[in-house]
Structure 1
Amino acid sequence: MSFLPARFQRPRLLIIGCGDIGMRVVKLLRGHWRLMALTTSVERAAALRGAGVLPLLGDLDAPHTLARLAGLADAVLHLAPPPPQGDTDARTAHLLQALARKGRVRRIVYASTTGVYGDCGGARFDETRATRPATDRARRRVDAEARLRWHGRAHGVVVSILRIPGIYADDRPGGHPRERLTRGTPVLVTADDVHTNHIHADDLARACVAALVRGRPQRVVHASDDSDIRMGDYFDLAADLCGLPRPPRITREQAQAQLPASLLSFMGESRRLMNGRLKRELRVRLRYPTVASGLAIKSRAPAAASSSDRSPAP
């Protein structure tokens, strides 16, 4: 037990699913918060300790391993995905059951997905739009959101839900379109193309931190940048910046014959997100307001280098 007055004690944050975004949050909060993270891996525990995070071994799929989470943290950042099957999220249910045993947690921030809206036909909208999930993957997210908001109302916890679109960053595993461009995966012709939404990983981490501090009770926020771009144009832009050929364009009918169902599901949903709450309520100032500014980071580096240390374009 600490005998310091509360104003001198650092708040405690428990991160659930401390992967790439979680580690970016750690870098922002280290030294200001006491940081803990749930992990299923002993090997991962060593990496967390090295980053200044206290690892807690447990598994969201095994609720008996979560008992120690009760009463540990003032806030929870829930970044873990739902189970891979079904239309409900038992993992979030298990987490909330554990947290409810002792009522210390005052804030929860949950990383959801904009897939909860389903296809919106390219409409531009804010967070008041009703959800219409078209896949089990999105239905699991809707289920998790509902559980979290109920928990917040029942236990007096401020729950912030960040609905997140495509995350990208050159230093994020699988977070740059370069790999897909190298494979030559086609995109849709403009007449059949969909609007997509994006957020740079660093801006998303900053949005998570802002929600931990400024999030309003049971509030949904679009954690999205200002881009208004179609999927094909996004990959064209990335190809130009990387010095790679632009991807081939095919019709939707051709795509249905050539591409896997997992990719087709993303090509079947078109949305344009408004992010006023992100800026107005969370007061996030985007470092990379468009994908053009975020994707160009790597391409600008060689221009600043000398001729002797300039490396080939990736």
Structure 2
Amino acid sequence: MTVRVLVVGGGDVALRAARALASRVQFWVVVRDPAKSAAWRALGARVIVADLDLWRSLARIGAAVDQVWVTAPPAGNGVIDPRTRRLQAALRRSTARSKPRGPGRRHHFALRPRMVYLSTSGVYGDRGGAWVRESDPVAPQTARAARRVAAERLWRDWAKRGGWVVRLRVPGIYSAERLPVARLLRGDPAIHEEEDSISNHIHANDLAQILWVAGWRGKTGRAYHAADDQPLPMGAWFDAVADALGLPRPPRLPRQAVLERVGPMMASFLTESRRLRNDRLKRELRFRLRYPTVFALLAQPIWKERRESCSMASSSRCISS
């Protein structure tokens, strides 16, 4: 029997997972931007164009699947998450329609799909570089993180009412296509080492696999850190990327001087410091990281080849080639 997966939010990570699983999984994907449809249809997915901010557009969303991956972000403002409420209502309505009617009738679809919600490690706020477990209390410091906490609580309530849900708390996502190249080319400064914050990372391909594995091996109601093995100071991360790409390392300035030069999104990364434990990821999900540290990617020969073939004047073009 074919496994069916509904993806709510057709971004890069979900698309990576779908490409790896397309031969054995039937995908339905909910996208807000019709321009994203072509890549999904090329994989044989069925595309539903809908907007989580518009209740009427969610009528075609169905729960008659084995897994649901919620990768779409919460709303862009406020501290609650009405998008999750609308999605849950749509799924409940779909489940009610899918129930078999009449004695002895059987239904071949899963009526309680296994939900995987992509959250953020930002729910913890600043921990002063301390190690954090999934059981530690949340303490969001930004409205964006508060909306994630609100969404997590709605999904926890969903599990308490008999649904099946796991939450993945995700740090900074990187890949060969998702490196801070523009920042390095601009010469944006980093914070002095003694004042720097600790950041956590996960390769996009690892996260794509975790999506799938969490839906089968996770324990309902649980949160899992989708993070690699080696938290790094932010400046060390920028230096490592610069070295791999043959670019100058960023200059170092005092923390306050750097914060005055960056936008609010980057400021939130620079002012929150924590180390994520990934014991549950390895023990309960039995997941083996392909990229246990960022250096597993940055040490690959391709970067040396590009450094040798590119002049500094054309670094941005060569790096993206």
| TM-score of the alignment, normalized to the shorter chain, above 0.5 | yes
Tell me the equivalent position of 1:4: none
How many Å apart are 1:298 and its aligned residue?
Answer: 6.1
Q: Deviations over 1:179-228 (max 9, x none)?
A: 21111111100111000000000010011111011111111000000013
1:162 aligns with 2:165: no
**TM-score (normalizing by structure 2):** 0.88
Tell me the equivalent position of 1:20: 12
Within the candidate set 246, 249, 260, 1:246 is matched to 249
Tell me the equivalent position of 1:49: 41
In 2, Cα distance between equivalents of 1:258 and 1:45: 37
In 2, Cα distance between equivalents of 1:294 and 1:145: 31
Question: Percent sequence identity over matched residues?
Answer: 42
Q: What letter corresponds to residue 62 of structure 2 in structure 1?
A: A
In 2, Cα distance between equivalents of 1:265 and 1:71: 36
Tell me the equivalent position of 2:159: 152
In 1, Cα distance between equivalents of 2:200 and 2:131: 11
How many Å apart are 1:19 and its aligned residue?
Answer: 1.0
How many Å apart are 1:301 and its aligned residue?
Answer: 6.4
Q: What letter corresponds to residue 201 of structure 1 in structure 2?
A: A
Tell me the equivalent position of 1:306: none
Q: Deviations over 1:231-281 (max 9, x none)?
A: 001111111111110001010121243333332221110000100111111
Q: Deviations over 1:60-83 (max 9, x none)?
A: 111111122134322100000111
Tell me the equivalent position of 2:134: 127
Query: Any conservation in 2 of the 1:170–1:298 contact (CA below 8 Å)?
Result: no
Residue 227 of structure 1: SS of its match in structure 2? coil
Tell me the equivalent position of 1:5: none
Change in CA separation of 1:298 and 1:20 when aligned onto 2, cut-off 3 Å: farther
Tell me the equivalent position of 2:78: 86
Query: Any conservation in 2 of the 1:197–1:272 contact (CA below 8 Å)?
Result: yes
In 2, Cα distance between equivalents of 1:194 and 1:18: 31
Q: Deviations over 1:156-194 (max 9, x none)?
A: 2220100000000013xxx11222111111110011100
User: What is the CA RMSD across the aligned residues, in angstroms?
Assistant: 1.6
Change in CA separation of 1:51 and 1:270 when aligned onto 2, cut-off 3 Å: same
Which range moved further: 225-234 or 112-121? 225-234
How many Å apart are 1:300 and its aligned residue?
Answer: 4.8
Gaps of 5+ in 2: 96-110, 311-317
Alignment of 1:294-305 (within 5 A): 294-297=297-300, 299-300=302-303, 302=305
Query: Any conservation in 2 of the 1:242–1:299 contact (CA below 8 Å)?
Result: no
Alignment of 1:158-237 (within 5 A): 158-171=164-177, 175-237=178-240
Tell me the equivalent position of 1:37: 29
Tell me the equivalent position of 2:122: 115
In 1, Cα distance between equivalents of 2:118 and 2:301: 27
Query: Any conservation in 1 of the 2:13–2:208 contact (CA below 8 Å)?
Result: yes
Gaps of 5+ in 1: 1-8, 304-309
How many Å apart are 1:40 and its aligned residue?
Answer: 2.5
Q: What letter corresponds to residue 80 of structure 2 in structure 1?
A: T
Within the candidate set 278, 283, 287, 2:286 is matched to 283
Change in CA separation of 1:46 and 1:264 when aligned onto 2, cut-off 3 Å: closer
Q: What letter corresponds to residue 160 of structure 1 in structure 2?
A: V
